[in-house]
Each structure stands twice: as structure tokens, then as C-alpha cells.
Amino acid sequence: MQQRVRELEKNIQSVQADIAVIKSNYATKEDVSNAKNSIILWVVSAVVFAQLIPALPAIINALKGILS
């Protein structure tokens, strides 16, 4: 019986160490929120940029007409 208790105590120490590592590495709400905001900003920027590129020649020609 003593041997089984020693083995259980050893296993519990291992589980406690694993839990400590998990707790130190998991994402907080702030981490998730920051990642979400970065993704949203990237997607919005990509969409705006994708819409702006085809219109760029027309914008340049319009500016040339205004400045001339």
C-alpha cells in the first residue's frame, strides 16, 4: 500500500508541474482580444487596398486634370 501511495504522490507532482506549464502558457482574454483586433485591421486594410489599386490610375488622371 505504501508503494502505491508513493507512486501516486510522484504522479501528482508530475501533474502539478504540467498544470503550472499550461497556466503559464495559456492565452488571456487580452491576448485573444489583441489578436482579434489585429486580424480585423488586417482584413479591412486588405479590402480597402484591393479596392484602391484598380482605381489608382483614374485618381491620378483626375488629380492631373485638377492641377493642370
Q: Assign 32 a pLDDT band (cuts: 50, 70, 90).
A: very high
pTM: 0.53
Cα–chain center distance at 68: 47
* CA atoms in the 13 A half-sphere facing the CB of 27: 8
User: What is the DSSP secondary structure assignment for residue 1, as one 8-state letter?
Assistant: -
Residue 2 is predicted with a pLDDT of 87
11-31 mean pLDDT: 91
